[in-house]
Chains A and B, each alone.
Chain A
Amino acid sequence: MRSPIKASSGKGRLNLFLLEMIIVLLFFSVASAVILKAFVSADRLSAENIRLERMAFCAQSAAEAFSSTADLGETAEMLFGIDSESFNNAARIDIPLDDKCGYAYLAESALSMTMQITETDYDGRLKMLHIFFKDKDGNLLYEINTAAYTPERTVLYGEE
């Protein structure tokens, strides 16, 4: 029995082959673009996750340092080695940071960390601190609130 499909000429087959090749290449281009995009975004998410961990540690350290010193300048000095005298009794400090949450003194900063005293109470002994991180575009990345309480020191006999 003869096949119902009509045999095509050599030139026709070549055209069909080229068409098939183009379709296959097109399909693979689209598929590889989708897959590469997925992996690039996974890579970016992984980097973001690491940066978020660093920000969490940085904020935690800042909170610990502030609870110990109750002063923003001293907190910045303990965290990044910045001279605390440049922040004399400041209520807000903005610190440029690199991708690894290190102080970006000369390098281009990828982040900024802000420590702001939002409220004081009990004659200034209780200080509420808001710590937040923003990226270059000003998007909020991470924030925590903390407080430091400096108990009133009893004046000993003979002390002024």
Chain B
Amino acid sequence: MNRPETRRRAEVISSAANMTLFLLFAVCCLVMITVAASAYSRINENYGNTFNSTAAVRYITNKIRASEGVEILAENQLLLENSGYSTLIYQQGGVVYERLFAEDDIVVPEGGEELFSAEKLLLQKRNGLVSVTITDEDGGNFNALCRATDGGDGNA
């Protein structure tokens, strides 16, 4: 026979149990969402960095192949010469810029159009090949060698 006190206690326990169950559900949901969000953001960030760096390296190597003359002005400045105009690709403040110059213009590394974000751009000449290295914000780098039409010495 159930007494009123026992029944009330049972109802309280039952409510507490339901609440605990709901709490457990909420905590599990929260943990899973947090883990999923952190994994997704890491994957997305990696993908973004990789895409940005590889796109930058491919863009620069394609430009080198398409140009008539290549001259490395500094380790982060590349002058691509074509008939009637030249293109300067340079890196400044974590960004790679590009600017076109007419044949008689003075080439200055400023006022260019923003291309890609890159922590570092390293250009080197090696036995007639131009080495292009892009370092991203996480320190990961991508490198490619590219054969310049003029051998990389600026003399077409």
Contact = CB atoms under 8 A, between A and B. Distances in A.
Nearest to A47: B46
B109 to A, nearest CB: 26
Q: Secondary structure of the B side of the interface?
A: helix
Contacts of B129: 64-65, 68, 78
Interface in B6-37: 6, 9-10, 13-14, 17, 20-21, 24-25, 28, 31-32, 35-36
Interface string A10-22: 1001100100110
A24 B21 contact: yes
Interface stretch (B74-82, B88-96, B115-123, B142-150): B142-150
Give the interface residue-count category, chain A. 20 to 34
Interface in A1-57: 10, 13-14, 17, 20-21, 24-25, 28, 31-32, 35-36, 39, 42-43, 46-47, 49-50, 53-54, 57
Given A49-B50, A57-B57, A43 B142 contact: no
A89 interface: no
A109 interface: no
Contacts of B146: 64
Interface residues of B, number: 35
Nearest to A101: B143
B144 A60 contact: yes
Contact of A57 (B6, B31, B32, B54): B54
Contact of B36 (A39, A47, A50, A67): A39
B147 A68 contact: yes
Contacts of B36: 35, 39
A79 B39 CA distance: 34
Contact of A42 (B13, B20, B43, B127): B43
16 contacts: A10-B6, A20-B21, A24-B25, A25-B24, A32-B32, A35-B35, A39-B35, A39-B40, A42-B43, A43-B42, A46-B43, A47-B46, A60-B144, A65-B129, A65-B145, A78-B127
